[in-house]
Amino acid sequence: MMAVIADSTIALRILWFHVTLLHGQSTPTLLALALIAVAVIIPAWAIGNAVGTPSGTFTAIGRSKGKWIGWMVALFLFGDFLSLLVAVYYLMRVRPQIRRALVTNSA
């Protein structure tokens, strides 16, 4: 996902589509800025969490730390909407498995 702010127009590039959030406004609205922040913060949080997690924990749940980080970083840098979807999937499905594995291993 890529945000474009120019000439009082705020647009998001989602896959191959351009979605204009505001056009011709003198100041961007809080909603548009919040959407842009979410599109950056959630993937960054997921990548940071994966980097800080021990590799053995990923292996214990049958996943690859390198692949998860690689895909999330590549999609984040590419600027694709899939970056947000993969990050949300990681945080909602994979991260709870990792946390359970960490608790099991520490006990």
The packing angle between helices 30-52 and 82-89, to 10°, is 50
pLDDT computed for residue 38 by the predictor:
85
Q: What is the pLDDT of residues 81-97, one digit of tens each?
A: 788 899 999 999 999 99
80 to 26, 60, 76, 84, 85: CA distances (angstroms): 27, 30, 7, 8, 10
In this prediction, residues 60-64 reach a mean pLDDT of 93
For tokens 């999937």, name the residue. Answer: 89
Residue 34's pLDDT band, with cuts at 50, 70 and 90, is confident
pTM greater than 0.85 (yes/no): no
Q: Give me the chain's average pLDDT, please.
A: 81
Q: Which two three-digit tokens encode residue 58?
A: 């990923």
Q: Name the nearest CA neighbour of 72 among 97, 51, 93.
A: 51
